[in-house]
Amino acid sequence: MKSDLLSILPNVQTLSIEDAVHAADLNWQVESEPLGGLDTGRKATGRKGLFTSDDRFLGDVGAGYTPTDPSEFVSSLYGLAGFSGFPVSRLSFMASRSQIVGFIDMKPIEFANEKINVGMIVRDGFDGFTTRSYAITLIREICKNGMVSKTVFGKSSAKHSKNFDIKNDELFKTVTAKMEKNIADLSERFQKLYGLEITPSQVDTVMAKLFPCNAENERSTRSQNTVDDILARFARGIGNKGQTAWDLFNGITEFETHGKTYKQTENQTPDSNRFKAFSDGFSLAEKAQTELLALA
């Protein structure tokens, strides 16, 4: 069985909040210093550098940037878990990306012979670009294919600009109010896909929407190789039979989660890069779900 992408995060489910903070390397505060200026002899940039209280660089941000307090992030995460009635299972500071990621286990979606493990992934960062974001995460038990839905809350992130605390509080209330209904809606969508038989011509139509051809009705070699990979997974992927919209949807999620190649960089392993794509959300799977549901 393929490994679960969430395994890149430390498991904290059995730990107290205090122990989880230490296990996740979050027992520090954020400090800032102006970049440039009189002390350096350089012209002031109007920007500031963020550092951990134990002197690790976090990011170069604008003067109006409001950084997250790690203790507030953890407190908010555990508050969301308490509201949902489910535990915080994973928590980590990903230093190479200056990001905090937490995961809350929730009640799985089950139908026919399928089990979809459900959770909430909460993410924040200190790089000046990463926002506080919330998304429902789904992992198909039979093959560990990951799916992330960031669209179910409408606006699902809060920027680190003026009044960040107020905006994040409003977003938190929206997430708590909508998450139960949104999970029920996802379950309904998945069951529609599961029961929807799909013809070869419909498969071609969906793939043409996802990977359009040029004026000569051709695709690039890379694009065609991706299409061929997905179609093979549609027919022979774990748990797939090449018969339903659910099979095609999972062929696509299997490609994005386990088939797509993620390059290794100096500070990030391929698994770390794959996890970043997982936490950001898979736009191809989101588009595929829309196109497939349109066939119903």
| pLDDT one-digit tens code per residue, 146-155 | 888 776 666 6
| pLDDT one-digit tens code per residue, 11-32 | 999 999 999 999 999 999 999 9
Q: How far apart are CA 296 and CA 280, in angstroms?
A: 28
pLDDT at site 257: 85
Q: How far apart are CA 98 and CA 69, in angstroms?
A: 13
Helix crossing, 164-194 with 245-254: angle to 10°? 130
The tens place of each residue's pLDDT in the chain, 296 residues long, gives 456 777 878 899 999 999 999 999 999 999 998 886 545 555 556 789 999 999 999 999 998 899 999 999 999 999 999 988 999 999 999 888 899 999 999 999 999 999 999 999 999 999 988 999 998 989 999 988 888 877 666 667 888 988 888 888 888 888 888 888 989 999 999 999 999 999 999 999 999 999 999 989 899 999 999 999 999 999 999 999 999 999 999 999 999 888 887 777 666 677 777 777 777 777 888 899 999 999 98
pLDDT at site 2: 57
How far does CA 177 lie from the centroid of its chain? 20
Residue matched to tokens 């990979």? 229
What residue segments make up the domains of the chain, in order of their start? 5-179, 192-293
The radius of gyration of the chain from alpha carbons, rounded to an integer in Å, stands at: 21
pLDDT at site 38: 46
CB-CB contact of 286 with 185 (8 Å): no
CA-to-CA separations, 99 to 9, 69, 123, 221, 264, in angstroms, rounded: 12, 12, 7, 35, 18
Q: How far apart are CA 161 and CA 171, in angstroms?
A: 14
pLDDT at site 26: 95
What tokens does 34 get?
A: 């102006």
